[in-house]
């Protein structure tokens, strides 16, 4: 990592913190630190489960508990056990909390206007466009990858989205029962592995591997949510799959794909996959690729 890049990120963080008043323990003049105000906003008018808040804001349990306790003491929040599941605790705004959240919305709008007002129209356009790009890139940096049980709810959801997209894009539609097998057993160790990408704990992509001992492994179920495209997530999923494959001694990865998936074909080629002769009888395949791992 270049030192200049790290220093630029730190400089950017400092100027943003100063611009929005994050370094003041009386954020927006309301007598509380930014963390408490942000939590009020995230709880929202409909309330939120504590585990959802932890995941969404990447908070540890101790900090979340202390912050909620402070908001409860101020009469802005109540925390109750879910009536249908005592393991789940849910935070909700009181009437005073809802009023405070509305006030924070107005003050936050005022801060945004204060940042934009001194600038010319062209400068505002450039700043807003740059902020949009930075937001997308920061979200991309927050995506996390993990090995997943292919029978889990999130895994099944990813597969459902993947199949639905293929059915729309393939010239003859897509029927999973006609495709070569890649069921849950095939994608569970030691036969295989499923990697799921998550953003704020929500699944946004997946990729799978099928292992064949000393023979080449197969890359399967490569999918990225529409909401996460443009993050470079496809490339990162391939890299995660290759990293996992290397760790268990895989030397070669193969894959097949349909001619309509032009973006995927381009991605595979950029990732070092070379087109080879057909090595299986996949009915939906028009291109076969292979990559030797080093």
CATH annotation of 142-292: 3.40.630.30
- Per-residue pLDDT of 43-75, as tens digits, reads 998 899 998 898 888 888 899 999 999 999 999
pLDDT of residue 264: 95
285, 258 Cβ separation under 8 angstroms: yes
Taking the C-alpha atoms of residue 148 and residue 187, their distance in angstroms, rounded to an integer, is: 9
The yes-or-no verdict on residue 16 having pLDDT over 90 is: no
The yes-or-no verdict on residue 78 having pLDDT over 90 is: yes
Q: How would you classify the pairing of strands 252-257 and 215-224?
A: parallel
> Region 271-293: what's the mean pLDDT?
97
The yes-or-no verdict on residue 123 having pLDDT over 90 is: yes
pLDDT of residue 147: 97
> Region 147-175: what's the mean pLDDT?
96
pLDDT of residue 23: 66
Categorise residue 58: left if φ over 0, alpha if ψ from -120 to 50, beta otherwise.
left
The phi, psi pair for 154, rounded to 5°, reads -65, -40
pLDDT of residue 254: 97
> Region 112-116: what's the mean pLDDT?
89
pLDDT of residue 26: 67
Closest to 82 measured CA to CA, from 53, 113, 50, 60 = 50
The yes-or-no verdict on residue 34 having pLDDT over 80 is: yes
> Region 133-155: what's the mean pLDDT?
93
Quote the mean pLDDT of the chain: 91
pLDDT of residue 12: 80
Taking the C-alpha atoms of residue 290 and residue 22, their distance in angstroms, rounded to an integer, is: 50
pLDDT of residue 86: 76
CATH annotation of 3-118: 1.10.10.10
Domain residue extents for the chain: 3-118, 142-292
pLDDT of residue 52: 87
pLDDT band at 277 (very low <50, low <70, confident <90, very high): very high
The yes-or-no verdict on residue 27 having pLDDT over 80 is: no
Percent of the chain surpassing pLDDT 70 = 98
> Region 264-290: what's the mean pLDDT?
97
Q: Hey, what are 110's tokens? A: 């005022």
pLDDT of residue 243: 97
Compare 254 and 46 and report the one with higher pLDDT: 254
Taking the C-alpha atoms of residue 159 and residue 240, their distance in angstroms, rounded to an integer, is: 18
- Per-residue pLDDT of 192-245, as tens digits, reads 999 999 998 899 999 999 999 999 999 999 999 999 998 899 999 999 999 999
């Amino acid at each position: 990592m270049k030192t200049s890049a790290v220093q630029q990120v730190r400089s950017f963080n400092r100027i943003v913190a100063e611009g929005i008043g994050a370094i003041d323990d009386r954020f927006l003049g309301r007598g509380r630190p930014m963390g408490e105000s942000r939590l009020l906003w995230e709880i929202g008018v409909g309330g939120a489960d504590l585990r959802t808040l932890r995941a969404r804001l990447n908070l540890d349990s101790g900090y979340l508990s202390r912050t909620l306790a402070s908001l409860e003491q101020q009469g802005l929040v109540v925390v109750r056990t879910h009536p249908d599941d005592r393991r789940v605790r849910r935070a909700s705004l009181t009437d005073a909390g809802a009023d405070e959240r509305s006030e924070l919305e107005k003050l936050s709008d005022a801060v945004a206007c204060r940042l934009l007002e001194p600038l010319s129209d062209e400068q505002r356009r450039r700043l807003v466009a740059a902020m949009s790009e930075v937001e997308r890139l920061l979200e991309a940096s927050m995506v996390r990858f993990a090995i997943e049980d292919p029978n889990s709810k999130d895994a099944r959801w990813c597969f459902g989205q993947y199949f639905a997209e293929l059915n729309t894009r393939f010239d003859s539609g897509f029927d999973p029962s006609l495709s070569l097998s890649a069921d849950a057993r095939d994608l569970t160790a030691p036969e295989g592995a499923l990697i799921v990408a998550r953003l704020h704990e929500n699944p946004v992509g997946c990729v799978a591997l099928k292992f064949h001992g000393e023979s080449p492994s197969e890359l399967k179920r490569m999918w990225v949510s529409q909401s996460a495209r443009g993050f470079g997530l496809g490339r990162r999923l391939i890299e995660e799959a290759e990293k996992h494959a290397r760790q268990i001694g895989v030397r070669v990865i193969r894959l097949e794909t349909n001619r309509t998936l032009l973006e995927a074909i381009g991605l595979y080629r950029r990732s070092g996959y070379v087109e080879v002769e057909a090595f299986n009888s996949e009915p939906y395949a028009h291109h076969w690729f292979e990559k030797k791992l080093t």
